[in-house]
């Protein structure tokens, strides 16, 4: 069952758009298959759904063309008119807004000492629609939660196929399991996508035994969780850095299960990534779930780690 958050139900995204676009955006958000809204200066609004894309068109060809001024005005609205308050997020190239929606930012950046300080001009925005797909993890849960405990699992797929959505439901289901001792789930949510936190509060349903370290770098968050939150399971998204691997290995040697995701189109692609390959070589994970999609239908394939060839 697909659940959208109150923000989409109330068409709240329209709040950030100019008046001439509010009705069109509200209509676009009413599509249950919506995944992204792409906004580009001097171009029409592109709506991405699980069934494909469509372009917002009004009565005239120019009605929904985004101007450079529109881009900056929408960006300022998303920042609540305070670029300084959002500087930490925007230097990473995204914003998180109420409902847990992540907005990717594209434009001219200001560098300071070789690192991004802020965007000085914005020419494109990608609003990724955060959704909960309650029950989407049902088919893989028997491979994760067994009579021997919670397995450590790596979830892989190409971008925008559903890794984060699957992680979210796995976290929810594990944190709702009643047993003694309880399963304590901790999410290290570096990009505020899994729990969809806004001001630190999860906007998604994460269950009663779930803690979330929001907007926290994975390696730091995993170490913090081990020291102070006594998790049974750590869940995190998009691993790939050497420091991520070291923190995950530390967690596993502490007896903590880890469920994580990584970008890879296939297992053969995954083992070509040095950090992922090393974690697989050391058998840090018990298994791998590969997500594929065909004709808008997702398939979840489980592979025991012993089946993976390096």
- The structural domains of the chain, ordered by start, are 2-128 (3.30.450.90), 134-307 (3.40.50.300)
- Gap between the Cα atoms of 151 and 45, Å rounded: 43
User: Average pLDDT of 27-55?
Assistant: 91
Please report the pLDDT score of residue 12 as a whole number: 76
Please report the pLDDT score of residue 51 as a whole number: 84
Task: Tell me if 8 sits within 8 A of 129, measured CB to CB.
Answer: yes
Does the pLDDT of residue 250 top 80, yes or no? yes
pTM: 0.80
User: Average pLDDT of 78-105?
Assistant: 82
Candidate from 37-41, 56-60, 214-218, 266-270 with smallest mean pLDDT: 56-60
- 66 falls in which pLDDT band (50, 70, 90)? very high
Please report the pLDDT score of residue 4 as a whole number: 39
In sequence order, which ranges of 65-214 are alpha helices (DSSP H)? Answer: 68-78, 87-90, 141-144, 163-176
To the nearest whole number, what is the mean pLDDT of the chain?
Answer: 89
Strand 197-198, strand 287-294: pairing: unpaired
- 9 falls in which pLDDT band (50, 70, 90)? very low
């Amino acid at each position: 069952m697909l659940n959208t958050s109150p923000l989409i139900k109330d068409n709240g995204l329209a709040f950030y758009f100019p008046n001439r676009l509010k009705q069109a955006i509200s209509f676009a958000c009413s599509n249950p298959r919506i995944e992204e809204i792409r906004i580009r200066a001097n171009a029409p609004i592109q709506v991405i759904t699980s069934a494909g894309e469509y372009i917002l068109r009004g009565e005239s060809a120019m009605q929904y063309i985004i101007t450079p001024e529109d881009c900056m005005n929408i960006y300022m609205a998303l920042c609540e008119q305070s670029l300084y308050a959002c500087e930490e997020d925007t230097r990473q190239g995204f914003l998180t807004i109420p409902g847990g929606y992540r907005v990717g930012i594209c434009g001219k950046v200001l560098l300071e000492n070789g690192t991004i300080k802020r965007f000085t001009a914005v020419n494109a925005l990608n609003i990724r629609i955060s959704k909960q797909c309650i029950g989407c993890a049902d088919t893989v849960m028997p491979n994760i939660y067994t009579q021997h405990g919670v397995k450590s699992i790596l979830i892989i797929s190409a971008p925008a196929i559903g890794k984060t959505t699957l992680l979210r439901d796995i976290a929810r289901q594990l944190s709702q399991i009643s047993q003694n001792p309880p399963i304590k789930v901790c999410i290290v949510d570096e990009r505020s996508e899994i729990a969809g936190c806004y001001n630190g509060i999860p906007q998604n349903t994460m269950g009663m035994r779930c803690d979330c370290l929001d907007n926290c770098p994975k390696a730091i968050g995993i170490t913090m969780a081990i020291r102070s939150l006594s998790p049974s399971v750590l869940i995190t998204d998009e691993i790939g850095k050497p420091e991520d691997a070291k923190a995950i290995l530390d967690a596993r040697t502490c007896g903590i299960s880890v469920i994580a995701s990584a970008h890879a189109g296939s297992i053969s692609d995954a083992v070509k990534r040095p950090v992922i390959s090393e974690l697989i070589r050391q058998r840090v994970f018990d298994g791998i779930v590969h997500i594929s999609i065909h004709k808008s239908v997702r398939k979840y394939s489980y592979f025991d780690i012993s089946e993976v060839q390096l």
